[in-house]
Structures are given as C-alpha cells and as structure tokens.
Amino acid sequence: MFFISSTHDVWQSRTTFFFGLIAATLGLGNVWRTAGLAAEHGGGVFWIVYTLLMVLIAVPIVLSEAVVGRAASGGVANAVEVFAQRSGTPRRWGGLGLFAAASALLAAVSLLLTSGWVIAVGFDLAKGEFAAVSLLQVGNYFQALDANHDRTLGLSLSVLAGLIAVLMVGVKRGLGVFVWLVSLLVFALVFVLVYHSLLAGDVAAAGTYLFKTDANAVTWKTFLYALMQAMTTLCLGLGVVSTYATYASKEVPLGRVMLAICVFDVGFGVLAGVIAYPLIFAQDITPTGGLSLLFIALPKAYGNIVQGDLMGGLYYLMTLLVISGTVIALLQVVVTLIMQRTRLSRFVAAPLVGLCVAGLLWAIYEWIESQTGYSAWLAVALSDRLLSTILLPLVALGFALLVGWQANTVGLVRALDRESHTFIRLWMGLLKYLVPLASLILLSLGWLAYF
C-alpha cells in the first residue's frame, strides 16, 4: 500500500489521451488573455501570426515532449533520463525534466491562487450579488475579496483537496474519468455561453474589436506577444505532455494529435473572446484583458444583463473547470516524479504533494499579510511573468536541443512510426532551427512585453 513496484499505467482509449491533453491545454490564458491581445495588437493579423506560430513552434515543442514521454514510464524526469541514455547523451539531461516539474509546481500554485477568486466571484454572481452594480462597486468588491485571505485560501485549498483525491484514485479510474468529464462539460458550457452572448451582447462591436485588422496596431510587439502566447500555451515546457504520453497507447499518432490539440486551443481562444466581449460592449464597458477582464469587467457585464446571474455562474464554472484540468495535469507531473524517485505509492505521494502545495499557498498568504501594499494579485502576475519569459522558454530550448540535436534519428522515426517521413523531416527541421531561435528571442526580449 505504501510502496510500489511500477509507476506505469496505460489509457486503453486514444480518446482519453486526447481529452487529457484538451483538458490540460485549454488554459486560463485563453480565457482571459488571447482574445484581448489579438484585439490590441492587430486583430486579424494577430490571429494569423498566432496560429502560424502555434503550428511552427508550439506543436514541434510539444511533439518533442511527447516523443520523450514514450521513452519510459515514471514521468517527465525519468523519461528525459531514459531518452538521453538511449540517445548516448549524458544522464545529466535528466535535470531538464526536474526543471520542467519545478515549473509545473509554480504554475499549479499560481492557478490555485486564482481558483479561489473564480469560485468566490462565480458563487456571488449566481446569488445575484452583482445585480445592477457599477464598475466602482465591482472594484471595491474584488479589493475586499483579495483582502479576505481566509475565504480565498480556503476555496483554493478545497480545489486542491478535490484534485488530490482524484489523483489518489489512479490514472485510469481517477485522472482518466476526470479529463473526460472536464472536457465534455467545458464543450457544453462553451456552446451555451456563446449562444447567450450572441443573443444578449453587441456582436457587431465585439467582432470589429476582435477581428478587424488595424494596420496602425501592427508593430514588432504584435509578433512578440503572439510568440509569447504561442509558447506559453499547450502546457508547453511543464512536463504535462511528456507525462501524459507515458499513458498513451503506442498506436496513437502523436503528430496528428498535437496538431488537433493546436486547432482546439486556437478555437477555444476565439470562442472565449466571443463569449466575453459582446457582453462587455453591450454594457459600454471599456474592453480589457487579464485579471481585470475576469474579475472586474465580466462581473459587471453579467450583473447587468438578461439572465446574467445564471449565465455568469456558468461562465465561472467553465473557468474553474479549465483551471482544474490544467492544475490536475501539473500536479500529476509532480506526483509521478515523487512516485518514481521515492517508490512511494500514489496513496502516499499524492497527499504529500498536496500538503506541499497547501504549505506554499499558506506561505504566500502569510508573506502577503506581513507586507504593506502587496496582494495575491501581484503574486499571480509575477509568477506568470517568470514562467512566460524565463522558465518555459528555457525548457523549450532544452527539449529542442535534446531531441533535435542529440537524439538518435532512428529512434525518433520509430516513436513517430504512424506519421509520414515528410512530416518527420519537417518537424525535425523546425525543432532544430526555428524553435531554438524563438526560445532565445523570448528569453532576451520577452520582458519588453510588459513595458
């Protein structure tokens, strides 16, 4: 019960692997950031550039992670070590997997901090507490919520406890069932919310804002933001794809799956904008993005629109499901690492990881209370910047160098035996040359996106 002899489980259904990646990669960034960035940096041009960068850079990186994941069971760190050993490179490449797992832990903590606000706002919105409110009142509400650490920490810990309980059940009956439920529920909620937004919102104004090409707004930052968003989506660099690939059947065509995930991700980013911005324009709210969109503008919009209490509650339920799908994948990366390194069973490793994450959440709130002028909002923003400008580009660069330049070509062809040789050659070319260049650009210039 306390120790194990193997960490390897397999999802028999290809659809479970696909839904697992869908649940993990839809991402909070698509909910609160992608559409806003597009609108502010060129509209239609941004969407085109972003989609191209997803295909040319993000897909090659996550495919390299999937290929590494097929090398061994036991999570991303073990998979990287085994892959490096089979490629005749030093075992110290295993540090790349540990770095990815550490990044996953940081991302999970940041998302859990946000989940507390999402539950609180969604619950209060469904109760009707935002009926006929002004932006000033919403701002005062969120300021009070951000200061109510007991409530937000308690809600974040409840999400964490639920996800850890799922992981304790196992990969097949726990994680596998969960990703099916999350994916199907998100699809259903998106359909309902888009329908409501098209009926109750200002579709014409939102369409112009989101998709009309503005030549004056197209600058070098358009390409920088598109690159950053492309390289921080799909759970790139966090070990999720490598970990999930260890559970996938050998019959899964990894290349086509990653392309399909890319299509779903871009589509969800578009639909998230279609849900939010018609409602905002209908209420004459200045369009915004990020935390301000999710916790200021949208509560005001839903609070002042027909069926807003119900639909607003469903919107924040969708957002919570999106967060949960990503967080459980990130926690699984860390749990699997602990299981592989310590030989502890899932019933022990998962609660240990849960306690560790709970301790980090508690420490963050304790630090915030000891300082003047700081909030959890700042902690989320700082972690987002650290991940997007340093940690994720470094891991992406590491996978590009390991798989693109160090790996045995014959082994790569075998791992992608269900893809054409033309596809493999194109993927290798992008991974060897374009991905390292993009990673270095983001490492050197990514910080300019915040100024």
Return the percentage of the chain with pLDDT > 90, whole number.
Answer: 77
Q: What is the pLDDT of residue 8?
A: 58
Q: Is the per-residue pLDDT at 380 higher than 60?
A: yes
Q: Which CATH architecture has domain 14-450?
A: Up-down Bundle (1.20)
**Higher-scoring residue by pLDDT: 71, 107:** 107
Q: What is the pLDDT of residue 189?
A: 98
Instruction: Locate the domains of the chain by residue range.
Output: 14-450
- The mean of the pLDDT values for the chain is 92
Q: What is the pLDDT of residue 266?
A: 96
Q: What is the pLDDT of residue 3?
A: 47
Q: Is the per-residue pLDDT at 331 higher than 50?
A: yes
Q: Is the per-residue pLDDT at 7 higher than 80?
A: no
Q: Is the per-residue pLDDT at 342 higher than 80?
A: yes
pTM: 0.95
Q: What is the mean pLDDT of residues 134-155?
A: 94
Out of 9-18, 30-39, 181-190, 254-263, pick the least confident: 9-18
Q: What is the mean pLDDT of residues 322-337?
A: 97
Q: Is the per-residue pLDDT at 5 higher than 50?
A: no
Q: How confident is the model at residue 163 (pLDDT cuts 50, 70, 90)?
A: very high
Q: Is the per-residue pLDDT at 77 higher than 90?
A: no
**Higher-scoring residue by pLDDT: 428, 92:** 428
pLDDT tens readout for residues 40-69: 999 999 999 999 999 999 999 999 999 999
Instruction: Output the six-digit token pair for 121.
Output: 């706002």
Residue 178: how many other CB atoms lie within 10 Å: 21
pLDDT tens readout for residues 170-210: 999 999 999 999 999 999 999 999 999 999 999 999 999 99
Q: What is the mean pLDDT of residues 234-261?
A: 91
